[in-house]
Chains A and B, each alone.
Chain A
Amino acid sequence: MSQPPAANDHPPAALPSDQSPNPQQPEAASNPPEPTPTSPPNRPPRPKKKKGPNYALLHSSPLPLSTHPLPPFHPSHPLSLLHLCYTYLSHLLSPPSSHPTTLYTGYFSPQTRSVHITDPRTMRALWEMGFFGKGTLSRSEPSWLERESAKVLAERAGEGVGRGGAAEEATRRRREERRLFKLERARVERGRIERQRAVEEGRITVEEAARLGAGDEGKVGGDGEVGGGGREEEQPLLGTGAPAASLTDGGGQLLDPASAQAEPSLAPGNTIAPTSTGPTEPSVNENPTHPPNPAEQHPELNIPNQEHLQLTLEEAFFLSFALGVLEIRPYPSTTTSTTATPDPNLTPTTLLGLFTAHSTFPPTLTPTPTPPIATLPPDSPFLLAYTTYHHFRSLGWVIRPGVKFAVDYLLYNRGPVFSHAEFGVLVLPAYTHPYWSSAAGLEHRRKGNGGRREGKDWWWLHCVNRVQSQVRKTLVLAFVDVPPPYCEVAAGEGEGGQGIAGLLRRYEIREFVVKRWLANRSRD
């Protein structure tokens, strides 16, 4: 499997797409530039853009259920009418089901308070159809096996550095470049200060300092917004402290040629110019449907998949109760023999009690294994989070945990692969029912809050709002109106009965959008 050395000269399929926009690659430079009359002769050839996977096709189902639409009828094609009738009759006689024939299985793990999915088919299905869960060894999509296989293959091929196609590789590369850039910039800054001090103390003259400073070329100036934005219009000042209007000399530059040889990492092919800040695509994906999996292509690697998909409690409950595609079991205990009794599936009613108990830490386990729904505290963190989750899912949003941005949930229009999240949702309980103002209600409220002073302060809200505006999202406060507990309400309520759906129907959600208002900018 060793590649011939001459293959490196061609613009290969191995060229990662995130380096391809950079025209100073040696591989691209070896291409003869195509002499077209319209393009200027000095322009390097545009390198081929590698196609990423077709996300619209991959993620065409927003939920892990299948639908069977009738084929469209075209009046100009009479045969389409036949096709339509045939499909309709076959649906009548043998109706296809929306649920998969074998339901997906997950295991509830009380230690991590989440549900684990280990079956690879389930992992792919749940990620692709609705973006549920997170791979434990990946950033979000379970891609650990691909990366490991790619790394092993690359090592075997002797290329040295693994050329993984997954998102983590691109991130690692970009972070490395940024770290080197920052080291450079710090070194340049130190040098400039040293020169300034030397001039003031009279050790070197102004002309010498200018000569030393001018040796830096502005290669690092690409990060102009942080380093050079304010400096461009101010002239370099190397005098002995004359207070002119300018503050600093021009820009963060590279080191002067005298010390350039000392940097082996600054190989010519590895410039410090920062790459684009947009999302980079994984490489080597000509296949429009599923990306070629190196693990599948090379079964002799035989790497056991050490990653599993982890679902939060709300996602697991949604899949199990609302959609009914997931069966959750407790982890098989190794002490008892498993031949006698099969593992019981946890029904959604049991799950509700279990998840509510585990939503606080330490978990408030009750003596009875299945507490009746009526005795569950209605303002438990699980129920609050789940009602918000269900509400936004039922409107069509893709909702994922938002702990990375200091909020509870992030809302995506179609999915993380298509666009950035537009909203960050914070869940806050609201107690508007008169029961909560009574003595018993106040008592229950305080218990549920863990003894903290009720109500958040303004500094916390401003912090979260700042974070959201920094990452260009909008903050949404979702107030969940908590109903009084079942046992406190008269039995003849008649609203929704005793099922889980009846319990959830008693909640109400109200959303507020919070945005900073700048008086200076709203004047016109």
Chain B
Amino acid sequence: MADADEDVIPRSGPLPEDIDLSEETQDFRFLAAISNEDAKIPKRGEKDFEPHATALQSNTLAASRQAMHNALSFQRVHQPKGYTTATYHPESNMAYAYNPKGPLFARMGQVLPGKEDPLGDDELRGNRLWLLPEEVLYLVERGTLDVRWPADDDDGEDKGLPMSLQGAYAMFIGDEESHGQALTFERYSVYSGLKRMGYTVQRAPSWNSPGPPLRPECYPPPPQRTWQPGFFSINHWWKTWFAGSSDDHDKDQASDQLIQPGLYRNYADIYRRLALIDWYDPTRHLPSEAEAPSTDAGFRVMYHIWKPGSQTFKKSAPGPPDFRIAVVDGRATAVPTLEQLGALMDAVPYAPPKEDGQLYQKVRHGYKNVILAIVDQGVVSYLRIADAGFGHEKLYDRKVKGFGGKRGGGRGGRGRGR
């Protein structure tokens, strides 16, 4: 029936893949239920939309609030088994720890080679793990790490004063502008959110600069030459005999009509003549000399993330990341212009969809993609932007009913018969 779209307004709520429970405040009473062995994950409950003035409703609310208070007031202690101490290094604004144990440190921190180590190439260098500011802050918040101020000489044997959480925030986020490494609160929100979900997050090369020169993998592969001269000539001869006049650009200029009245064999011919507007082709091969990327400061890839279950990630050889995140300040920037988006897309490797995929899947997957993390005062929203090549998917060329696909097969038969 005509215009069935009005019926699409779904009454079953959002799709299962669109429900993101981390966006809503959960009911803390379910925490107590989960502590049992046979507890199921509870489904989303019903909302009441207005106060009823019933004791049942107010008691339920009070119980939920009490459960939240109980959960938050739980005292967190450092476990003696996994206790790790790190020392703050003011000049580079990082912290270092000696041989930290624990599964978290398998994916965080790095051992610097002798030339880069700020403390020099002494005998402890191989055991010294340097942690970036966001990593330190995340671990301190989590309670895994105990960061100490550098020990003064007159403190004797002490390890140095412990750094409080407020101090950690002040040093690692507040003081970054003077160091030029720019860990802003927005980037830290994205980092900690992704880490909490289990991803492995590392800084991208374009963290605070336009980035390294573009490598060949950012460009689509050059087109292959097909060497079939015989086929070409028969095709050409066939077209001139049977397919009508060839398109002529000069004629279009003078007239006020694109499609002149005439004899057309199928609609694909008409559609081909209608093609007038240029479109950006993501598979077009660009010149091979390495261009310097010109990404805008507000739109740069900042984090490379790997999925939590990734088997191929090793600190020494991480491999290509699963996703690339560009952190955007939602209050300071607007929706990106074409130059900003284009520069951002140029810096991302070429990842085309499968050749034999379905039409919608291919268009939605896109030829290059990046994930924007838009942070609005601590609330993060992720949008995946992909460079779609609509111009590659010509609907009239697909073999569907109603576009004359079957008749094309008949023409081939006649050609061979002659």
Contacts and interface: CB of A to CB of B under 8 A. Distances in A.
Interface of A: 52, 56, 59-63, 65, 67-75, 84, 91, 95-99, 139-141, 143, 167, 170-171, 193, 196-197, 200, 223, 225-226, 229-231, 233, 237, 240-243, 245, 247-248, 274, 277-282, 321-324, 347-349, 387, 390-397, 404-405, 410, 413-414, 416-417, 419-423, 428, 430-432, 454-458, 460-462, 465, 469-472, 474, 476, 479, 481, 496-502, 504-505, 507-524
A274 to B, nearest CB: 8
B5 A420 contact: yes
Contacts of B328: 458
Nearest to B408: A69
B277 A390 contact: yes
Nearest to B410: A72
A68 B265 contact: yes
A141 B56 contact: no
Nearest to A410: B5
Nearest to B402: A60
B99 to A, nearest CB: 30
Interface in B328-354: 328, 330, 333-335, 337-339, 341-342
A69 B404 contact: yes
B262 A97 contact: yes
Given A99-B261, A230-B46, A520-B21, A140 B277 contact: no
Nearest to A201: B55
Contacts of B383: 461, 465, 514-517
Interface stretch (B85-93, B119-127, B385-393): B385-393
B120 to A, nearest CB: 40
A395 B10 contact: no
Nearest to B62: A243
A468 to B, nearest CB: 11
A507 B45 CA distance: 52
Contacts of A74: 413
A138 B63 CA distance: 53
A376 to B, nearest CB: 15
Interface string B407-418: 101110110010
A392 B264 contact: no
Interface stretch (B12-20, B74-82, B163-171, B205-213): B12-20
27 contacts: A56-B402, A72-B407, A141-B3, A226-B12, A226-B13, A241-B56, A243-B62, A277-B12, A321-B258, A396-B396, A413-B359, A416-B5, A430-B339, A432-B342, A461-B383, A470-B14, A476-B390, A479-B341, A499-B255, A508-B277, A511-B388, A511-B390, A512-B386, A512-B388, A513-B388, A514-B385, A516-B384
A510 B10 contact: no
Contact of B265 (A67, A200, A241, A470): A67
Interface in B1-48: 1-15, 17-18, 20-22, 29, 33, 43-46
Contact of A458 (B46, B264, B275, B376): B376
A158 B22 CA distance: 58
A279 B402 CA distance: 22
A416 B5 CA distance: 7
B278 interface: yes
Contacts of A513: 363-364, 366, 385-386, 388
A236 to B, nearest CB: 11
Contacts of A230: 43-46
Contacts of A282: 1
B18 A469 contact: yes
Contact of B254 (A499, A517, A521): A499
B196 to A, nearest CB: 10
Given A430-B337, A512-B387, A518 B382 contact: yes
B60 A243 contact: yes
B1 A417 contact: yes
Contact of A396 (B56, B255, B266, B395): B395
Interface of B: 1-15, 17-18, 20-22, 29, 33, 43-46, 52-56, 59-60, 62-63, 193-194, 197-199, 242, 252-267, 269-271, 274-280, 307-309, 323, 328, 330, 333-335, 337-339, 341-342, 359-360, 363-364, 366, 371, 374, 376, 381-391, 393-397, 400-404, 406-407, 409-411, 413-414, 417
Contact of B262 (A95, A414, A417, A421): A95
A422 B384 CA distance: 17
A64 to B, nearest CB: 11
A67 B270 contact: yes
Interface SS, B side = mixed
Contact of A395 (B1, B330, B390): B390
Contacts of B194: 519
Contacts of B337: 430-431, 455
Given A65-B264, A513-B364, A498 B2 contact: no
B250 to A, nearest CB: 8
Nearest to B66: A243
B266 A69 contact: yes
Contacts of A348: 256-257
A503 B6 CA distance: 37
Contacts of A410: 5
Interface SS, A side = loop
User: Which 8 pairs between the two chains have the least Cβ-Cβ distance?
Assistant: A396-B395, A72-B410, A430-B338, A455-B334, A141-B2, A279-B4, A140-B3, A510-B280
Given A75-B417, A324-B259, A505-B276, 20 more contacts: A56-B402, A65-B264, A68-B263, A70-B265, A74-B413, A75-B413, A98-B259, A167-B2, A243-B59, A279-B1, A391-B277, A395-B271, A395-B394, A414-B400, A428-B338, A430-B338, A458-B333, A470-B10, A511-B390, A517-B323
Given A469-B14, A469-B15, A196 B54 contact: yes
Nearest to A479: B338
Given A72-B407, A139-B3, A240-B55, A390 B274 contact: yes
A515 to B, nearest CB: 5
Contact of B374 (A237, A404, A423, A458): A458
Nearest to A135: B2
Nearest to B196: A519
Contact of A514 (B54, B253, B384, B402): B384
Contact of A516 (B197, B382, B395): B382
B199 A500 contact: no
A102 B257 CA distance: 16
B338 A322 contact: no
Contacts of B402: 56, 59-60, 62, 414
A397 B359 CA distance: 12
B263 A96 contact: yes
Nearest to B197: A519
B395 A139 contact: no
Nearest to B64: A243
Contact of B414 (A73, A167, A197, A520): A73
Nearest to A475: B383
A321 B256 contact: yes
A509 B277 contact: yes
B371 A517 contact: yes
B274 A515 contact: no
A481 B279 CA distance: 10
B276 A390 contact: yes
A96 B15 CA distance: 51
A193 B50 CA distance: 12
Contacts of A242: 59
A167 B46 contact: no
A84 B414 contact: yes
A452 to B, nearest CB: 12
A396 B63 contact: no
